Amino acid sequence: NMALRELASLEKYLGLKKPNKYSTQGDKKVPVLQNNNAPPLVGLVTIACHLVKEAKRPELLGDGAEGRAVVQQWLEYRVTKLDSHIEDTKSILKDLNLYMQDKVYLAGNQLTLADVLMYYGIHSIILDLAVQEKEQYVNVARWFDHIQHHPGVRHHLPPVVVLRNRLYTSRHH
Amino acid sequence: MELFVSEGNPHCLKVLAALEVTGVQCGVQFLNHEGKVVPFLPRPAVPTLFLPSGQHLFSSNTICRYLFELNGPESSDQCNQWLEWEATILQPALLRALHLAVLQGKGSEVPKVLQGPLNVLDQSLAKGSMAYLTGEAVSVADVVLWGALHPVLSVSSLELTKAWFDRVAAVRGCQSAAQKVLQGKGLEAMKSYMQKQPAPQSRDTQPCNSSPAEVSRTVSEEEMEAAALTWSKDLNACSYPAEKQHPVMPQEGNRNVLITSALPYVNNVPHLGNIIGCVLSADVFSRYGQLRGWNVLFVCGTDEYGTATENKAREEGLTPQQICDKYHAVHSSIYKWFQIDFDFFGRTTTEKQTEIAQDIFWRLHKNGFLVEDTVEQLRCENCQRFLADRFVEGMCPYCSYPEARGDQCDKCGRLINAVELREPQCKVCRQTPEIRSSKHLFLDLPKLETQLENWLERSTSSGDWTANAKQITRSWLRDGLKPRCITRDLQWGTPVPHPDFKEKVFYVWFDAPIGYLSITANYTNEWEKWWKNPHQVELYNFMAKDNVPFHSVVFPCSLLGAQDNYTLVSHLIATEYLNYEDTKFSKSRGVGVFGDMAKDTGIPSDVWRFYLLYVRPEGQDSAFSWADMALKNNSELLNNLGNFINRGGMFVTKFFGGCVPAMELQQEDKKLLAVVGWELQQYIQLMDKVKIRDALKHILNISRHGNQYIQVNEPWKKIKGGESERQRAGTVTGVSVNIACLLSVMLLPYMPAVSQTIRDQLNAPQTCINTMLQGPGTFVCALRAGHRIGTVSPLFQKLEADQIEALKKRFGGQQITASTQPAAVPAPPVVAEVKVVDGSDPEKAKQLAEAVAEQVRSLKAEKAIITAEVSKLLDLKKQLALAEGKSPEPAPQKGKKK
């Protein structure tokens, strides 16, 4: 299950020592966090935010009410748009590419949970892109490369080569 | 802070309620649905909250949470959980429910659709026994869920949910928010909003490629008796018209079906993907339509105008007309080999094309749907032509990167308008192009949008549009239509008749679909009886999905604007893509099978057709694989279908002297007739909906049932027994050859030659063809006792592993990307089957290693050629993109070879 692998990687990134127990629910295999002394938590974003709080890394959820809202905005985008397959991937990449034009991270000026989960979610799409397409979405590719090289983030996913020397620059003609 | 909302949008209801409940001070602006607020989202995103920092929040739950957090504590895990549940679980169900209730008038089905999520809500309320979802006070979760459910929950039978719902409704601010958004009009208020939403996904998109599961249906007594009754009916007296009478014209009282397949571009030899995407699918449906007794006209032709033809002509040192003549003949002969039975296969470079295109143009002009605008373009005086973006290079105006392309800078990634480039160069001759402003005409699509939407709503709800066709169309409308340039500064095209625009031709996208009309006009002078007759004619367009917007939006707009009672598309059938061994077809890389090479493989045209239709990318992408083709030929055609048909015929010949024996139907036989009848019904239902691949499955099911029937009854043993046993052998044999006769009819659209061969071998009357597919399906005993059959011989040949390996090598189908192919391509069975054919894995690895090395060599060799010509260069770029994009890490084999 992809969501569970994501959560396991997130736990490692957060440096949580003892792994939590998970199960899944329903056709969509929604992750469930089993809690010993509290009701279970359901949903990828909900659990991820909970883990961040547990690890005492509030900066990963954004700064102040506004910063937090922007992080939540992209987390929601991840589980609704990216995971639902209602939108086609092209239009998602188009949106993100435009948004990323003047940004290093999805929200604010540092890495947040939004970057991490978006990276996990978009990995298979980026892996599938042809070099030319990666260039078409150059801002997304740049952001993606940046996040996958962020220490400790990548974990369960293979690295994707996004930028290469181009073989067809004008030197050849 | 500013909040943008619109009427009739259920998400705005949540946000306004949150605003009122929290009392946050914020300006509110009502927009129509087209309002574009968020700069990086091309689609209208409402509600949107402008934050003081200049950022945007563009989804309702995030906005609500933010409003609550402004004056209160951070939302709890429980709140977050409800919000996530609402967005990911409840919303998709709500979308389906609203779609049914608002657009289809099926409000009664809403409770069923929402049952699952509402039960979750009700149970949670029962467990918590609190006033609100997360405690004794209203939280953001309550407001969001209330707002989401408001339009549909007035009639819930779940008591706790209802009580909670009413409690939230009583919170100050909620009702007034609902009033603002729905205006007291209830569901009706959401109609315009819902029309712009993507259709809820249908859940029956399972691929049917895997061998059909043997679902043992229980057959009732009534079904058996009904099947036996049908069996005893006579064949239709009127005989199947052996030859169509041309020209085919619409007939009063008949179903008149006009079929087009997307016009193939003339300068390319079509590959298998092209063939299955358009002409072959359309051919199957056209043949099927005739079997159903419809009055069918099937037209197609080559699309011949445009830059690509001009370039190809320059390359080959011919005139564009010569290029078109040459390749039109190539296309023609390929389709002939594939037995594509066009009623007419024409071309777009004809007098009629000019006449009809110019007529439509003048009508659009007269009706005020053309607008004029000036376009600045770079022109190379040396090459004597205007340069397309990809033919210019220069310095990026933003970052001064010297090799920026005409559309984008590779260094800073910014989009560039070609005329903004500093020191621009023509990529062909390296001269400096000049900026010329040139007047062009645009089709005013925004002005036609309302008309288009009204027509689309009718056509997509009454016709059979594939899911991808509807989805692509909707996404175009959602992005909003813009005027589209219909003229170009080229020579090779239909001339624009307007005196202010002489020297210009029509842009191909405007011109090409008019080809359907002009090709029909070249077939018959009375072409208008097909094309200006929407009440009598149903139009089916077949294409691959990349062609959808031109057929669903742009071309219909041309015809609607021309206002001449044109026949618009009723059924738009779009396939997904067919890949080649999990990579893509590439002419220049020599990868894949192209139409002209298929016959050189020695594999019969009918087998090609069968396999392409078996893997038809219906509903999702699929892949052509040699190993899979061999497997399907050997298992489905040879062992299943061919074996069954051959056995029945052989028994008649060997045991009964070539005459069909007497048949005494017992329960078991009637049961088989009922099962076969049911499969036939499924086949007809699916084919009527153009589910060509799914229908094929039912043909193969019938022969599977038949084989089982023979296996259980063992006529070859019973024939040696006593009188009653011999009679039993006779009945089983007779039923079997009659099923073979039915199969020949069902196969006709797929494998026309094999179908005829079967009837020849069985000496079957031609009248069986137009009997069996009548109504819901009529399986009659066409070969009565005493009927003399012809000479029976095997229908299919085995494809051997070494033969297939040789073909695979020859057509470059090396699976260079197989090692890193992500799970996105649904082809695990292919991998498994490769093993079946190949035997051992080390051998496979060796082949792969060789293949990779070969690939590298060919890429290098090509690179040398490519320096010569830019067009080829661009092609290589695509190939490299593919070759590299799919194998991000050097594969181990590759490493060793270096």
Which residue in chain B is spatially nearest to A68 when comparing CA positions? B66
Name which of A129, A130, A135 is nearest B410 (Cβ-Cβ): A135
- Rounded Cα distance between B802 and B822, Å, is 29
Instruction: Look at A91 and B876 and tell me if their CB atoms are within 8 Å.
Output: no
* Distance from C-alpha of B873 to C-alpha of B426, rounded to nearest angstrom: 14
The Cα–Cα gap between B404 and B424 comes to 9
pLDDT per residue as tens digits for the range A89-124: 888 898 899 999 889 999 989 999 999 999 999 998
**Tokens standing for residue A21:** 């127990």
Q: How far A48 CA sits from the closest chain B CA (Å)?
A: 10
| pLDDT of res. B814 | 43
What are the tokens at A10?
Answer: 């997130």
Q: What percent of chain B has pLDDT over 70?
A: 85
Number of Cβ atoms within 10 Å of the Cβ of B565: 12
Q: How many whole angstroms separate alpha carbon B188 and alpha carbon B191?
A: 6
pTM tops 0.80: no
Say whether B888 and A127 touch across the interface (CB within 8 A).
Answer: yes
- The answer to whether B509 and B554 are in contact (CB under 8 A) is yes
Length of chain A: 173
A131 interaction partners in chain B (CB closer than 8 Å): 880-881, 884-885
Q: Do A65 and B198 make contact, defined as CB atoms within 8 angstroms?
A: no
Q: What is the mean pLDDT of residues B411-423?
A: 80
What average pLDDT score do residues B534-548 get? 94
Complex prediction ipTM: 0.92
Q: What pLDDT, in 10s, does the model give residues B616-636?
A: 998 888 888 888 899 899 999
Q: What is the mean pLDDT of chain B?
A: 84
By Cβ distance, the residue of B62, B83, B881 closest to A131 is B881
Would the pLDDT of B842 be above 60?
no
Contacts of B217 (CB under 8 A, 6+ apart): B675, B678
User: What is the CATH architecture assignment of B2-196?
Assistant: Up-down Bundle (1.20)
What local confidence, expressed as pLDDT, does residue B238 receive?
A: 58
Residue-level length of chain B: 898
Q: Is A71 helix (H, G, I), strand (E, B) or coil?
A: helix
Give the Cα separation of B318 and B324 in Å (integer).
10
Beta bridge partners of B386: B379
Can you tell me the distance from the alpha carbon of B704 to that of B672, in angstroms, rounded to the nearest whole number? 11
Contact A41 B77 (CB under 8 A): yes
User: What is the mean predicted confidence (pLDDT) over B640-651?
Assistant: 96
Dmax over CA atoms of chain B, in Å, equals 97
Cβ–Cβ gap B889/A77 under 8 Å: no
Using CB atoms, pick whichever of B85, B414, B427 lies closest to residue A42: B85
Residue B306 or residue B897, greater confidence: B306
How far is Cα B46 from Cα B36, in angstroms, rounded to an integer?
A: 8
**In Å, how far is A110's CA from the nearest CA of chain B?**
16
Provide CATH 1.20.1050.10 ranges for chain B. Answer: 2-196
Determine, for residues A73 and B77 on separate chains, whether the beta-carbon distance falls below 8 Å.
no
| Residue ranges matching CATH 1.10.730.10 in chain B | 639-788
Chain A CB contacts of B58 below 8 Å: 73
Could you write out the DSSP letters of every residue in B694-737?
HHHHHHHHHHHHHHHHHHHH-HHHHTTS-HHHHHHHHHHHHHHH
Per-residue pLDDT tens for B37-47? Answer: 777 776 667 88
More confident residue, B378 or B696: B696
Is B466 or B438 the better-scoring residue by pLDDT? B466
In DSSP terms, which residues pair with B699 in a beta bridge?
none
Smallest CA–CA distance, residue B85 to chain A, in Å, is: 7
In the predicted model, is pLDDT for residue B150 greater than 90? no
Q: How far is B524 from chain A (nearest CA, A)?
A: 42
Q: Which two tokens stand for residue B723?
A: 């009188």
Q: Cα–Cα distances in Å, from B585 out to A45, B279, B626?
A: 40, 18, 14
Q: Most A CBs within 10 Å: which of B14, B76, B84, B411, as the mutation test of the A interface? A: B84
* The CATH number of domain B639-788, selected from 1.20.81.30, 1.10.730.10, 3.40.50.1110, 2.60.40.1930: 1.10.730.10
* Domains of chain A, earliest start first: 2-149 (1.20.1050.10)
pLDDT-based confidence at residue B856 (cuts at 50, 70, 90): low
Nearest CB among A45, A128, A169 relative to B84 is that of A45
Which residues in chain A touch residue B198, judged by CB atoms under 8 angstroms apart? 86-87
